[in-house]
Amino acid sequence: MIKPHGSDTLKPLYVADAGKRAALAKEAEGLPSIVISSAAAGNAVMLASGYFTPLTGYMNLADSLGVCEKMRMTSGLFWPVPIVNVVKDAGPIRNAKRIALRDPNVEGHPVIAIQDVKAIEEASPEQMKFMTEKIFRTLDPAHPGVAAFNSVGNLLVSGPIQVLNYSYFDKEFPGTFRTAMQIREKIEKSGWKKVVAFQTRNPMHRAHEELVVMAMERCACDGAVIHMLLGKLKEGDVPADVRDACIRKMVDLYFKPNTVDITGYGFDMLYAGPREGVLHAIFRQNMGATHFIVGRDHAGVGDYYGPFDAQRIFHEEVPAGELKIEIFEADHTAYSKKLGKVIMMREAPPGHTKEDFVLLSGTKVRQMLSNGENLPQEFARPEVAKILMTYYQGIRKA
């Protein structure tokens, strides 16, 4: 099986031993504590799950700046975005060597992890600006990732962590949330040698479905892992439970049995385009995928990135040999009325025009579903459209 990034083995930070976990929870009761940001909690879940192998905790300022500048930590490890615990006020943990981190996303703010504090460092306004621009390629506060990154503070609390739970993800999504270790076990049990991963924060329409099929065929993969984001999204995105229902219905009806694993991971979307695309590739390698689909405007939002910037970065900025996973570069995929099937638009025969494709904007789709109008079968499977229609009509009535 493909090796994890920067390591021969996965390095999950979840404390699996129940006795040790109970002892740490008891210790946490007497430690200085702080409620961390949602982003930091998501980082803890990813570290716990082995997705962020080989990291041992939150980065310090030097590592964060190095990652932003040249995608390198001070150790030389290749990494695309800072994995940090940033706070506005470090008063409650000032001078503490060991602290309890409390989960902002669970009622009562239970302890999610214990951290050994190596440093508490203040990032200057210039350094925050530098990191923001490198990660997101913009300083526009209207960008949801920029807004989130700059809203949590500028004090970096660095050091290794031991994680006590997976926040709300394993409880709210018991049939979908999976760690990198669990996905590797499933891949091995299934006997898959080549595996393609598909990232999604949206329901899957016909174009997405066909894209997974194309990637499996062209990369000679034995199986596919549909890996959906379960964390916080921007306003207007479809909730995870609705996406999950849509994807499961599509796979049940339209994929061959035992060729697709439907899973999810706990993380807040960054909307960082190219940089986030590289992060997505790293943690898909860590979960055992040999191939990863990077589509048009991957991890993008609005018009902040070019349509293929997230593919270009793998050629222009990722050093050769740093990643073992292979990238499947996908174009915009749509149903061709001329050919009677879904194709990648760049592969359309000469003579194809925009009018020859079934293309619907997200806004148009939402309007149609809210009004109870059926989506074209060339755009969405009717069984999937029905689930979405129920959701959008519920929003409208509310």
CATH 3.40.50.620 domain range(s) in the chain: 176-397
Q: How many residues does the chain have?
A: 398
Q: Mean of the pLDDT values across residues 197-205?
A: 90
Confirm whether 202 is a catalytic residue.
yes
pLDDT digits (tens, 9 = 90+) for 1-13: 999 999 999 999 9
pLDDT digits (tens, 9 = 90+) for 47-57: 999 999 999 99
CATH 3.10.400.10 domain range(s) in the chain: 18-170
Q: What is the pLDDT of residue 398?
A: 62
pLDDT digits (tens, 9 = 90+) for 341-398: 999 999 999 999 999 999 877 778 888 888 889 899 999 999 999 999 999 888 767 6
* Residue with token string 């929003």: 395
Catalytic residue among 21, 72, 201, 312: 201
Catalytic residue among 21, 98, 202, 366: 202
Amino acid at 111: V
Q: In degrees rounded to 5, what are phi and psi of residue 248?
A: -65, -40
Q: What is d(CA 148, CA 136) in angstroms, rounded to the nearest whole number?
A: 11
Q: What is d(CA 334, CA 70) in angstroms, rounded to the nearest whole number?
A: 36
Q: Mean of the pLDDT values across residues 59-77?
A: 98
Does the domain at 176-397 match CATH 3.40.50.300? Answer given as no
Q: Which of 167-181, 187-201, 227-241, 297-311 has the lowest mean pLDDT?
A: 227-241
Does the domain at 18-170 match CATH 1.20.1260.10? Answer given as no
Reduce the DSSP state of residue 296 to 3 states and report it: coil
Q: What is d(CA 223, CA 192) in angstroms, rounded to the nearest whole number?
A: 6
Q: What is the pLDDT of residue 203?
A: 86
Greatest Cα pair distance in the chain: 71
DSSP for residue 346? G
Confirm whether 137 is a catalytic residue.
no
Predicted TM-score (pTM) of this structure: 0.94
pLDDT digits (tens, 9 = 90+) for 116-167: 999 999 999 999 999 999 999 999 999 999 999 999 999 999 999 999 999 9
Question: In the chain, what percentage of residues exceed pLDDT 90?
Answer: 88
